[in-house]
Amino acid sequence: MKTNTSKFIIAGALAMVFGQQFSGRAQSHPANDPVFQNLDKSVSPGADFFRYANGTWLKNNPIPPAYSSWGIGNVVSEDIRSRLKKINEDAINANAAKGTSTQKIGDFYYSGLDSVNIEKLGITAISEPLAKVDQITDVAGILSTVAYLNTVGARTFVSAGVGQDDKNSSKMMLQLNQGGLGLPNRDYYFKTDARTTKIRTDYTEKYIPNMFVLSGYTDEQAKAAAKSVFTIEKALADSSRKLEDLRDPYHNYNKMPVAQFNKLTPNINWKVVFTNMGIPNVDTVIVGQPEYYVAVNKYLKTFTIADWKAYLRWKVLTSYAPYLSKSFDQENFRFTGTVLSGRKVQLPRWKRVLDTENGIMGELLGQLFVQEYFPLKAKQRYTDLVEAIRQAYREHIAQLDWMSPETKQKALYKLNSIHAKVGYPDKWKDFSKLSIDRGSYAVNVMHARHWAYLNNINKLGKPVDHTEWNMTPQTYNANYEPSNNEITLPAAQFIIPGIKDEDIDDAVVYGYSAASTIGHEITHGFDDEGRQYDAKGNLKAWWTAADSVKFTQRAQVLVDQFNAYKVLDSLHVNGKACLGENIADLGGIVLGVDAFKKTKQYKEGKLINGLTPMQRFFLGYAIGWLGQQRDEELAGRILTDVHAPGFLRVNGPFSDVPEFYQAFGIKKGDAMWIDPDKRVKIW
C-alpha cells in the first residue's frame, strides 16, 4: 500500500474526536502503517466505523472491471498469484520427469494456456460424458449416467460424498444432500423482485438456449431443451430447503440403512447407483434432506427421458464450459460473471488457469509457497496467538453469569480440546495417481476432479485422517470443522499486503488475526450450530436444557439486530441464516480485546500515528473486512451467503462491544450507538 503522508496532520483532530489527551504520551510515526493510511477523516467513527477505518482505501481502490468485489483478500490473492505464476513458468521450462510434481504443475498450466489447442478440440474435449448422456433410453440409464457424472465432477441432482458421521465423528460415512440447481440457490427460482426476475429471465431465455446452440442444437431444439432444464430445476428447487434451514444439524441428519432409503425412493436402486459410483457394499447412508430425494424419485417418472437428457447435457456443459473453446467460455462468463456478479471483463487467461490449478492441486503449489513466504518465526507467532485467545476464552467461560457450572465444565473441556492447524500441513497430500499431460485442458480438469472424487470416496470405512487439511496454505481463508473440533489457519490468511509480518504491531495483529480469524474460528465451536457438537466432534446434547434456552434467547437478540440492517433496495440481512458467523465475529472481537489487554503494547499505551493501542486493535480488525462489492454481487450474497456483508461484520458487532465505545468516544445519538441494555453479550 502507498503511504498517504498528508494524513499525519489529522492526529490532533483525532485527539479531539476521541476525547483523548495525546500530547503527553510517547508515540511513533511509521510511514508504512497498515491502519493509519486507510483512515477517512471525513467520516465520524460513530457514524460509520467501517467507512471511517477504510474509506481512503476504498476511494483509492475502485473495483476492477474483472471483479465483482475488491478488497484485502483480492490484494493478497493477486500477490500470491504473481508468486505462483513464477512457479508455474519455471515448471513449464523444467523438462521434469513424467509423474513428478513439477511435471504435473507445468503441464497443467501449459494445457490451460494453449488456446490454439483448446479451440481445435472444441466440444470434443467433453465428448465422453456427452456420449453417456446421449445413450440414455430409460430411468436406469438416467441413474447410471448420473453416477458416472458424479465421478468426473459434473454436478447433478445426486450430491454425494464421504464425510464424518456427525454423531460418531470417528466414522467416515457416505452422505447425500440436496443439489441439482443451475442458479445459485432455490430462492432464485421463486423470488419476484425485479433483480431476481431479470436474472431468471436471462437464464431461461438466453443463457441455457445459447449454450445448447453452441453444443450443436438448432434454435428450436435449444428452446425446447431450455424449457425442460428449467422445469426440472424449478421442481428440484421447490423440494429444497431454504438457506437458514440447512443450518440445523439435527434436522439435516437422517441416518438410515440403504434398504430403508430404497423404500423411500422405489424408483431408485441405491445399491446399484452407489456401485456405479465406485462405492460398493454400502449398507448405511446419512441423508441430509430426505424429502428432496423423495421428490427426485417422483420426478424420474414425471418428466420424460428427453427432459432428463436435456437436463444432464446441461449439467455437463455448465460444469466444463470455462475449460472449453472461447464461445463456451465467453457465454458462461456473460451469465455467471456479468449477469450474476456484475463483472465487466474476464480475468486474463493465465489467472483463470492458475485459479483452476490452485483449486485442483493447490497443495503441490503450497509446498513451494510456504518455503519462501511463511518462515517458522511467523508460524510460532500465530501459534502463540491461538493460545492467547484460548486463555481469554477460558476466562470468559468462567465469568459467564448465565451458564451453569455443569455446562461450563464441558465447555472448557471442549475449548481445551480444539486442535489448531497453523500455516501449512505437516503431511502433504499424495498426488502420485493424478495423471496430467499437455493435451486437453478440459480433460486435465476432468482427470483432476476424478482424482479428487476417488480421494474422497476412498476414505469410506477408514480411520479419520486428522493430519489432512481442507484448504491450501496459500488460501486467504480459515475455518472451524465441528466433527474434528479443529481450526485451520492457512499462512495466507495472516498476510497484510506490502508489510512484513515482523513490522506489524501487536495491536493490529490482535485485531486483524487474533480477533477476526483465530477468535472467530474458535468461537464457531460455540455458535448456534457448533455448540451442538461435543469435544470429540459428535452431535450430542451436552448443555443443560436451561443453558440452551438462555443461549438461544441471547442469540435471538443478535438475529433481530442483523435482520434490521437494510443493505440494498429492499434486501435485508437474513439474521437467522448468518447467525453463526455473527456470533463468531462478536466472540472473536471480545476475546481479542481481552487477550490484547495482556500485551506489553497495550499496557505501555504508546501512541502510533496518534492512535492508542486499543484504537489500533479495532482498526486492525476492520482491515480484515476491507473491501467493496458490486450491487449484483451483494444482492446474490444476501440470498446465498451465511455471512453478512463485510461492512456489517465491522459495524454490527462493534456496536455490541463496550471497549469500542470507550476507544472512540461513541455517544448516544451516533448511528453506531446501541443502548447498553440492548447490546448482545453471549461469550
- Average pLDDT rounded to a whole number, residues 152-178: 97
443 vs 606: CA distance, rounded Å: 59
What are the angstrom distances between the C-alpha of 424 and each of 60, 470, 525? 33, 11, 21
Q: What is the grid cell recorded at 397?
A: 467461560
> What's the DSSP call for residue 157?
S
Q: Beta strand 571-572 with 566-568: parallel, antiparallel or unpaired?
A: antiparallel
Q: Which residues pair with residue 539 across a beta bridge?
A: 533
Conformation bin of residue 434: beta by default, left when phi > 0, alpha when psi is -120 to 50: beta
Q: What is the pLDDT of residues 168-226, one digit of tens each?
A: 999 999 999 999 999 999 999 999 999 999 999 999 999 999 999 999 999 999 999 99
Strand partners, 204: none
> What is the fold, at CATH topology level, of the domain defined by 136-341?
Neutral endopeptidase; domain 2 (1.10.1380)
- Cα(621)–Cα(263) distance, integer angstroms: 52
Distance CA 597, CA 609 (A): 20
Nearest-angstrom CA–CA distance, 279 and 301: 25
Q: How far apart are the C-alpha atoms of 249 and 483, rounded to whole Å?
A: 11
CATH topology of domain 53-62+375-423+476-678: Collagenase (Catalytic Domain) (3.40.390)
Tell me what pLDDT residue 349 has.
Answer: 97
* pLDDT of 15: 34
Which residue would you say has higher pLDDT here, 376 or 665? 665
**What are the angstrom distances between the C-alpha of 612 and each of 11, 18, 208, 231, 582?**
11, 10, 56, 60, 26
| pLDDT digits 0-9 by tens, 280-319 | 999 999 999 999 999 999 999 999 999 999 999 999 999 9
pLDDT of 6 > 60? The answer is no
Q: Which residues of 400-427 are buried (b: 16+ CB within 10 A; e: fewer)?
A: beebeeebeeebeebbeebebbbbbbee
* β-pair partners for 571: 568
| Window from 25-34, 155-164, 398-407 with minimum mean pLDDT | 25-34
State the pLDDT confidence band at 61, using cuts at 50, 70 and 90. Answer: very high
Residues 321 and 327: their CA atoms lie apart, in Å, by 9
Radius of gyration of the chain (CA): 26
Residue pair 165/256 in contact by the 8 Å Cβ criterion: no
| Gap between the Cα atoms of 600 and 615, Å rounded | 15
d(CA 109, CA 353): 7
What is the rounded CA–CA span in Å between residue 472 and residue 542? 33
- Rounded mean pLDDT, 359-375: 86
| Euclidean distance between CA atoms 468 and 475, whole angstroms | 15
Q: What is the dihedral of CA 84, 352, 72, 427, to 10 degrees?
A: -50
Q: In the beta sheet, which residues pair with residue 420?
A: 487
Bridge partners (DSSP) of residue 491 are none
- Under the banding of pLDDT at 50, 70 and 90, the label for residue 653 is very high
Report pLDDT for 9.
28
Question: DSSP per residue over 230-266, as a string?
Answer: HHHHHHHHHTSPPTGGGG-TTTT--EEEHHHHHHH-T
Measured distance CA(621)–CA(653) in Å, rounded:
11
CA-closest candidate to residue 178, choices 293, 269, 87, 79: 293
Count of residues making up the chain? 683
- The candidate with the shortest Cα–Cα distance to 276, out of 174, 143, 152, is 143
Burial per residue of 569-595, b for 16 or more beta-carbon CB atoms within 10 angstroms, e otherwise: eebebbbbbbbbbbbbbbbbbbbbbbb
For position 20, what pLDDT does the model report?
38
Mean pLDDT of 479-507: 94
406: pLDDT strictly greater than 70: yes
* Partner residues linked to 487 by β-bridges: 420, 480
Q: Label residue 27 by pLDDT band (50, 70, 90).
A: confident
| Local confidence band at 443 (pLDDT 50, 70, 90 cut-offs) | very high
pLDDT of residue 18: 35
Instruction: Provide DSSP, 614-644.
Output: HHHHHHHHHHTT-EEE-HHHHHHHHHH-SS-
Please, is 1 exposed, middle or buried when counting C-beta atoms within 10 Å of its C-beta (0-12, 13-18, 19+)?
middle
Average pLDDT over residues 35-45: 96
Q: How confident is the model at residue 21 (pLDDT cuts 50, 70, 90)?
A: very low
Cα–chain-centroid distance for residue 461? 28
Output the pLDDT for position 369. 83
**Helix (H) or strand (E) segment spanning residue 423:** strand 419-423
**Nearest in space to 471 (alpha carbons), one of 357, 356, 358:** 358
pLDDT at 373: 76
Instruction: Supply the mean pLDDT for the chain.
Output: 94
Residue 292 makes CB contacts below 8 A (sequence gap 6+) with 178, 236, 239, 240, 241
pLDDT score, position 25: 63
Three-state secondary-structure class, residue 542? coil
Of 288, 253, 255, 257, nearest to 270 by C-alpha is 257
Torsion of CA 111, 116, 117, 118, to 10 degrees: 80
Q: What is the pLDDT of residues 116-140, one digit of tens each?
A: 999 999 999 999 999 999 999 999 9
User: How far is 607 from 601, CA to CA, in rounded Å?
Assistant: 10
| pLDDT > 50? residue 5 | no
Q: Provide the pLDDT confidence category of residue 518 given band limits of 50, 70 and 90.
A: very high
Task: State the Cα–Cα distance between residues 1 and 215, nearest whole angstrom.
Answer: 46
Query: Cβ–Cβ contacts within 10 Å for residue 565, how many?
Result: 16
Domain ranges in the chain with CATH number 3.40.390.10: 53-62+375-423+476-678
DSSP labels for 651-680? HHHHTT-HHHHHHHT--BTBTT---GGGS-
Closest CA to 519 of 467, 575, 595: 595
Res. 4: pLDDT tops 50 = no
Domain span(s) for CATH 1.10.1380.10 in the chain: 136-341
What are 480's strand-pairing partners?
487
Tell the burial category of 264 from Cβ atoms under 10 Å away from its Cβ (0-12, 13-18, 19+): middle
Please spell the DSSP secondary structure of 338-365, one letter per residue.
IITT---SPPPHHHHHHHHHHHHHHHHH
Per-residue pLDDT of 557-606, as tens digits, reads: 999 999 999 998 889 999 999 999 999 999 999 999 999 999 999 999 99
Instruction: Output the CA torsion sign for 656, 658, 664, 668.
Output: positive
Rounded (to 5) percent helix, strand, coil in the chain: 60, 10, 35
Of 238-247, 367-376, 512-521, minimum mean pLDDT range: 367-376
Facing residues of 27 across strands?
A: 607
Beta strands of 166-297 (E only): which ranges?
Answer: 168-177, 255-257, 284-287
